[in-house]
């Protein structure tokens, strides 16, 4: 038990001694640990900020007075037809190749990125958990069929499929969502299936069967809560992957179709202008980088907070003192000595 | 508490049960083989683990049948077959005159209310992610016998009855000690007010001092609710303490069975005698007096059990006949019919068996 937990218990005992009978759930414990992780909390703040920007994009556009599709051919382009730089003619982040306000476009791009990232991850998690649970719990031929299907999906060249679909049906948002979901669930399924295989052998599952619980009840009430940890971590880390996936598709011209603002699409357009208009590359790329970085760091934080091993690794690193940096960075928690000691 | 626990006591007994009304559950010639598959593509069945091979036993109403045997003797497999958790290869299980062998899950549901299980591992048998109230309330939820405030009240009464603080229903299993966890398991088994509880080594994972508390709890509950127990253990003293009848299992078969005192005082099967001689005695003088019979070798593999009497390779009294002919489980040497042993050369009272400690051949 860490100092932090002892401290929490001391606080809890002071504050409400009568309430002490309620045990803390895995989520409460995870949240407590996560709250002391400064990097993860900063990531939460960044993500919240991006969400506010995305939701408020039309409002900000109105405040600025520039529409997302509005091309300012007079003020937004120089006499040579080149985009104008940041701060000129009221364009805070400059303009794009036909004189549209880059700031407004980046804000609208956040809408697409977050929408696609979160929706596809939610769909993929739902499908992945259900399929993984069914495969792992029922086993036998059901498992064989589903496991081979998972392998097939994981082995499939996704860019080729996306290119083919876009060529046949024309690029659209729903194809992007469909393709990303289709290539994301299998990874989650594989983890869930493996965990289910190990959890279903536990004696408490036999106890549930001896009570008379059916397979669905056992899967979703007895097994699923034991898998939620890895699933949550995986889902948090899938959001940035999906965002990058969407940007990749848009960059290749098979994602979000042209007039709609998307970060990948803007980067694609900027290819021809980056030598004369650095802002055209830098701002959409920065937005993409910050967002995916925040989700990745949050995912790492959630994983560390979820894993009781973290504290042991932490205790070891405390003993080793300043040799922390030489250890495997992936295994290290993002907490520091002083943070936990406080 | 019995007034508030949901249960319809008006369930009529089936007519057959009236004829032998003290028999609650009867197991006849039960066989459970697990197939052993070879490697390779086709995974042919290359052998059978004969975990349980022709076991018959009876549990009487309000009584306890103790089932003893070494690890690997098939005790737990037998328990799971009786509880309907794994399909039976052959043989029948008759509960209150009704054949419940290999029923479908749906058909088994009402029977589940009557037969419950307590598991060996107090850590493994409780879901670590669920609160204790939810675990104990599970039977009510599954059988839809109580919900909401009614269920919570029933759960708290159960907790109180098994000696847990009912205020703790919101805690997680990890916050309880081994003994308390086993009480949670008892409360869960008791929730539907079953007639039979199969206790699969319920105290072997516990401290000796805690064992006594849980055993006393089980005895109290038996008196209060008229429960019957099938009590599985490898601790002979525990079985002697709780049982009315005792059955000794060896390698998937019953070696000896009968009323407790007869089996303990006049054991007929050499295996029973050896087991009894191996149990530690609390009195040091008595311990010094005793002659321990050391069995050599390990329990043979149930995939390829010995011919004839399965105990013969380790038996100090074994003769030619033992490896050729399988002994029948019947009463020996003028014992009453209920005391049976499967042995060609049953042990006489006062007989000293050939291989004893100190004179063991190397």
Task: Say whether both B23 and B159 belong to one domain.
Answer: yes
Which chain A residues are Cβ-neighbours of B129 within 8 angstroms?
A: 26, 225-226, 228
B126 touches chain A (CB under 8 A): yes
Under a CB-based contact definition with an 8 Å cutoff, are residues A235 and A187 in contact? no
Q: Which residues contact B128 (CB under 8 A, 6 or more apart)?
A: A226, B172, B173, B174
Chain segment A223-247, per-residue pLDDT in tens: 998 888 889 888 988 999 999 998 9
In a domain, A303, yes or no: yes
Number of domains in chain B: 2
Task: Say whether both B294 and B358 belong to one domain.
Answer: yes
Q: What is the mean pLDDT of residues A72-90?
A: 76
In a domain, A236, yes or no: yes
Under a CB-based contact definition with an 8 Å cutoff, are residues B82 and B27 in contact? yes
Q: Name the band, by pLDDT with cuts 50, 70 and 90, for residue A335.
A: very low
∠ CA B116-B148-B122, nearest 5°, is 35
Which chain A residues are Cβ-neighbours of B144 within 8 angstroms?
A: none
B113 touches chain A (CB under 8 A): yes
How far away is chain B from the Cα of A226, in angstroms, using its nearest Cα?
6
Say whether A213 and B142 touch across the interface (CB within 8 A): yes
Instruction: Find the helix or strand (DSSP H, E) in which B160 lies.
Output: helix B148-161
Higher per-residue pLDDT: B183 or B297: B183
Strand partners for A248: none
Task: Say whether both B171 and B233 belong to one domain.
Answer: yes
Under a CB-based contact definition with an 8 Å cutoff, are residues A234 and A216 in contact? no
In a domain, B252, yes or no: no
Q: Name the band, by pLDDT with cuts 50, 70 and 90, for residue B41.
A: low
Task: Say whether both B140 and B43 belong to one domain.
Answer: yes
Q: What is the pLDDT of residue A277?
A: 83
B358 touches chain A (CB under 8 A): no
**DSSP notation for B184-248:** HHHHHHHTT--SEEEEESTTTTS-HHHHHHHHHHHHHHHHHHT-EEEEEES-HHHHHHH-SEEEE
Best mutation site among A203, A217, A218 for testing chain B: the one with the most B CBs within 10 Å? Answer: A203
Chain segment B124-159, per-residue pLDDT in tens: 899 988 999 999 999 999 998 888 889 999 999 999
| Alpha-carbon span A115 to B356, nearest angstrom | 80
Chain segment B263-299, per-residue pLDDT in tens: 888 888 988 888 888 777 667 776 666 677 777 777 7
Q: What is the pLDDT of residue A6?
A: 46
Q: What is the mean pLDDT of residues B205-212?
A: 87
Say whether A23 and B170 touch across the interface (CB within 8 A): yes
Task: Say whether both B217 and B315 belong to one domain.
Answer: no
Structure letter (DSSP) for residue A321? G
For B138, the closest of A21, A22, A208 (CB atoms) is A208
Q: Is the pLDDT of residue A121 over 50?
A: yes
Best mutation site among B84, B110, B116, B127 for testing chain A: the one with the most A CBs within 10 Å? Answer: B127
Best mutation site among B77, B125, B132 for testing chain A: the one with the most A CBs within 10 Å? Answer: B125
Task: Say whether both B109 and B227 belong to one domain.
Answer: yes
∠ CA A79-A84-A89, nearest 5°, is 95
| Backbone dihedral angles phi then psi of residue A26, each to the nearest 5 degrees | -55, -40
A218 touches chain B (CB under 8 A): no
Higher per-residue pLDDT: A320 or B61: B61
In a domain, B253, yes or no: no
Chain segment A136-161, per-residue pLDDT in tens: 999 889 999 999 999 998 888 888 88
Residue B140 lies in domain:
15-243
Instruction: Find the helix or strand (DSSP H, E) in which B152 lies.
Output: helix B148-161
Say whether B127 and A222 touch across the interface (CB within 8 A): yes
Q: What is the mean pLDDT of residues A308-319?
A: 51
Q: Is the pLDDT of residue A127 over 90?
A: yes
How many of the other CB atoms lie within 10 Å of CB of A201?
10
Structure tokens at B234: 């490898």
Say whether B143 and A212 touch across the interface (CB within 8 A): yes
| Alpha-carbon span A129 to A190, nearest angstrom | 9
Higher per-residue pLDDT: A304 or A216: A216
Say whether B108 and A208 touch across the interface (CB within 8 A): no
CATH of the domain at B170: 3.40.50.300
Q: What is the pLDDT of residue A131?
A: 94
- Residue A328 to residues A130, B27, B228, Cα–Cα distance (Å): 34, 59, 58
Least confident of A131-135, B13-17, B23-27, B231-235: B13-17
Closest chain B residue by Cα to residue A26: B129
Exposed/middle/buried for residue B319 (C-beta within 10 Å: 0-12, 13-18, 19+): exposed
Beta-strand relationship, B196-200 and B115-118: parallel
In a domain, A31, yes or no: no
- Global pTM? 0.77
**Of B197, B227, B243, which marks where a domain is finished?**
B243
Chain segment B89-121, per-residue pLDDT in tens: 999 999 988 899 888 888 888 899 999 999 988
Task: Say whether both B160 and B277 belong to one domain.
Answer: no
A9 touches chain B (CB under 8 A): no
Say whether B127 and A26 touch across the interface (CB within 8 A): no
B143 touches chain A (CB under 8 A): yes
CATH of the domain at A60: 1.10.3720.10
A226 touches chain B (CB under 8 A): yes
| Alpha-carbon span A208 to B126, nearest angstrom | 9
Q: What is the pLDDT of residue A128?
A: 94
Chain segment A156-212, per-residue pLDDT in tens: 888 888 888 878 888 888 888 988 898 889 989 999 999 999 999 999 999 999 998
How far away is chain B from the Cα of A224, in angstroms, using its nearest Cα?
9
Least confident of A12-21, A245-254, A274-283: A12-21
In a domain, B22, yes or no: yes
Q: Is A180 helix (H, G, I), strand (E, B) or coil?
A: helix
**DSSP notation for A116-143:** HHHHHHHHHHHHHHHHHHHHHHH-HHHH
Task: Indicate the average pLDDT of chain A.
Answer: 80
Task: Say whether both B72 and B203 belong to one domain.
Answer: yes
Task: Say whether both B47 and B178 belong to one domain.
Answer: yes
Q: What is the pLDDT of residue B208?
A: 86
Q: What is the pLDDT of residue B189?
A: 93
Q: Which residues contact A151 (CB under 8 A, 6 or more apart)?
A: none
Q: In what order do the strands lie in the sheet containing B329-330?
A: B115-118, B196-200, B228-233, B64-68, B245-250, B253-259, B340-342, B329-330
Q: Is the pLDDT of residue B184 over 60?
A: yes
In a domain, A185, yes or no: yes
Q: Is the pLDDT of residue B333 over 70?
A: yes
Number of domains in chain A: 1
Token look-up 């549990």 returns B59
Percent of chain B with pLDDT over 90: 36
| Alpha-carbon span A222 to A200, nearest angstrom | 9
Q: Is the pLDDT of residue A338 over 80?
A: no
Exposed/middle/buried for residue A155 (C-beta within 10 Å: 0-12, 13-18, 19+): exposed
Residue A98 lies in domain:
3-7+46-307
Backbone angle region of A85, left / alpha / beta, with phi > 0 → left and psi within -120 to 50 → alpha: beta
Closest chain A residue by Cα to residue B111: A212
For A214, the closest of B80, B105, B120 (CB atoms) is B105
**DSSP notation for B287-352:** HHH----PPPSPPPPTTSPPSSSTTGGG-TT--HHHHHSPPPEE--TT--TTSEEE-SSPPPTTPP
Q: What is the pLDDT of residue A1?
A: 44
Q: What is the pLDDT of residue B245?
A: 93
Chain segment B232-267, per-residue pLDDT in tens: 988 888 899 899 999 999 998 999 999 999 988 888
The contacts found for B286-289 with CB under 8 angstroms, 24 or more apart, are: none
Q: Is the pLDDT of residue B358 over 60?
A: no
Higher per-residue pLDDT: A213 or A72: A213
Which chain A residues are Cβ-neighbours of B128 within 8 angstroms?
A: 226
Q: Which residues contact B340 (CB under 8 A, 6 or more apart)?
A: B256, B257, B258, B329, B330, B331, B332
ipTM above 0.90, yes or no: no
- Residue A286 to residues A96, A106, A291, B193, B276, Cα–Cα distance (Å): 16, 10, 8, 65, 78
Q: What is the mean pLDDT of residues B9-33?
A: 67
Under a CB-based contact definition with an 8 Å cutoff, are residues A322 and A297 in contact? no
In a domain, A20, yes or no: no
Q: Name the band, by pLDDT with cuts 50, 70 and 90, for residue A72.
A: confident
In a domain, B182, yes or no: yes
The count of CB pairs under 8 A between chains A and B is: 75
Terminal C-alpha separation, chain A: 15
Token look-up 């089996």 returns B263
Q: Is the pLDDT of residue A307 over 90?
A: no
Task: Say whether both B35 and B180 belong to one domain.
Answer: yes
In a domain, B75, yes or no: yes
Token look-up 């050939």 returns B354
| Alpha-carbon span A253 to B230, nearest angstrom | 70
In a domain, A197, yes or no: yes
| Alpha-carbon span A233 to A235, nearest angstrom | 5
Task: Say whether both B196 and B277 belong to one domain.
Answer: no
B185 touches chain A (CB under 8 A): yes
In a domain, A30, yes or no: no
- Calculated CA dihedral for residues B45, B51, B56, B60, nearest 10 degrees: -130
Under a CB-based contact definition with an 8 Å cutoff, are residues B208 and B192 in contact? no
Best mutation site among B81, B104, B138 for testing chain A: the one with the most A CBs within 10 Å? Answer: B138
User: Residues in chain A, how many?
Assistant: 342
Q: What is the pLDDT of residue A329?
A: 41
Q: What is the pLDDT of residue B354?
A: 53
Under a CB-based contact definition with an 8 Å cutoff, are residues B275 and B248 in contact? yes
Q: What is the pLDDT of residue A324?
A: 43
Under a CB-based contact definition with an 8 Å cutoff, are residues B198 and B178 in contact? no
Structure letter (DSSP) for residue A223? I
Task: Say whether both B113 and B158 belong to one domain.
Answer: yes
| Alpha-carbon span A147 to A149, nearest angstrom | 5
Percent of chain B with pLDDT over 70: 87
Q: What is the pLDDT of residue B359?
A: 40
Task: Indicate the average pLDDT of chain B.
Answer: 84
């Amino acid at each position: 038990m860490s100092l932090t937990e002892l401290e929490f218990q001391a606080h809890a005992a002071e504050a409400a001694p009568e309430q002490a009978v309620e045990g803390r759930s895995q989520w409460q414990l995870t949240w407590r640990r996560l709250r002391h992780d400064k990097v993860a909390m900063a990531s939460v703040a960044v993500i919240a900020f991006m969400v506010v920007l995305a939701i408020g994009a039309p409002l900000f556009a109105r405040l600025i007075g520039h529409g997302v599709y509005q091309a300012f051919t007079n003020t937004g382009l120089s006499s040579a037809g080149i985009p104008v730089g940041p701060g000129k003619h009221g364009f805070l982040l400059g303009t794009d190749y036909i004189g549209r306000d880059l700031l407004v476009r980046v804000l609208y791009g956040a809408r697409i990125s977050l929408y696609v990232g979160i929706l596809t991850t939610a769909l993929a998690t739902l499908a992945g958990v259900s399929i993984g649970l069914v495969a792992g719990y029922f086993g036998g031929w059901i498992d064989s069929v589903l496991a081979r299907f998972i392998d097939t999906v994981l082995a499939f060249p996704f860019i080729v499929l996306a290119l083919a679909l876009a060529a046949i049906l024309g690029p659209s948002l729903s194809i992007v969502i469909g393709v990303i979901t289709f290539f994301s669930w299998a990874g989650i399924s594989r983890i869930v299936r493996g965990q289910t295989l190990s959890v279903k052998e536990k004696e408490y599952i036999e106890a549930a069967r001896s009570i008379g619980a059916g397979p669905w009840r056992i899967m979703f009430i007895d097994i699923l809560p034991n898998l939620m940890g890895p699933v949550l971590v995986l889902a948090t880390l899938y959001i940035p992957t999906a965002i990058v996936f969407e940007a990749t598709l848009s960059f290749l011209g098979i994602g979000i179709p042209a007039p709609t603002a998307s970060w990948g699409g803007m980067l694609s357009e900027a290819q021809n202008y980056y030598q004369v208009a650095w802002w055209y590359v830098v701002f959409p790329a920065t937005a993409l980088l910050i967002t995916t970085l925040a989700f990745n760091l949050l995912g790492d934080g959630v994983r560390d907070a979820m894993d009781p091993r973290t504290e042991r690794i932490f205790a070891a690193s405390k003993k080793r003192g300043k040799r922390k940096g030489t250890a495997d960075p992936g295994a290290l928690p993002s907490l520091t000595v002083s943070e936990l000691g406080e | 508490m019995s007034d508030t626990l949901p249960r319809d006591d008006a369930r009529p007994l089936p007519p057959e049960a009236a004829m032998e009304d003290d028999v609650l559950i009867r197991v006849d010639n039960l066989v459970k083989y697990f197939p052993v598959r070879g490697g390779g593509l086709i995974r042919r069945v290359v052998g059978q683990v004969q975990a349980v091979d022709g076991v018959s036993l009876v549990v009487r109403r309000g009584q306890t049948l103790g089932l003893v045997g070494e690890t690997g003797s098939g005790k737990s497999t037998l328990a799971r077959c009786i509880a309907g958790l794994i399909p039976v290869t052959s043989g029948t299980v008759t509960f209150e005159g009704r054949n419940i062998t290999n029923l479908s899950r749906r058909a088994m549901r009402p029977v589940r209310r009557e037969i419950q299980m307590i598991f060996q591992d107090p850590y493994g048998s409780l879901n670590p992610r669920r609160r204790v109230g939810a675990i104990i309330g599970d039977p009510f939820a599954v059988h839809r016998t109580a919900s909401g405030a009614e269920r919570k009240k029933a759960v708290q009464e159960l907790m109180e009855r098994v000696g847990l603080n009912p205020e703790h229903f919101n805690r997680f299993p990890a916050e309880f000690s081994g003994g308390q966890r086993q009480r949670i398991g008892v409360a869960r088994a008791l929730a539907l007010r079953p007639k039979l509880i199969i206790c699969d080594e319920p105290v072997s994972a516990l401290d000796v001092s805690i064992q006594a508390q849980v055993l006393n709890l089980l005895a109290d509950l038996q008196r209060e609710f008229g429960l019957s127990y099938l009590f599985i253990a490898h601790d002979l003293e525990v079985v002697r303490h709780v049982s009315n009848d005792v059955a000794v299992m060896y390698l998937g078969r019953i070696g000896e069975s009968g009323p407790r005192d007869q089996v303990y005082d006049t054991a007929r099967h050499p295996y029973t005698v050896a087991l009894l001689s191996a149990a530690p005695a609390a009195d040091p003088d008595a311990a010094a007096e005793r002659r321990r019979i050391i069995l050599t070798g390990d329990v043979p593999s149930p995939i390829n059990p010995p011919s004839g009497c399965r105990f013969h390779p380790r038996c100090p009294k074994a003769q030619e006949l033992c490896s050729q002919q399988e002994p029948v489980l019947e009463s020996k040497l003028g014992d009453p019919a209920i005391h049976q042993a499967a042995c060609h050369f049953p042990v006489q009272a006062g007989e000293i068996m050939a291989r004893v400690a100190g004179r063991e051949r190397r």
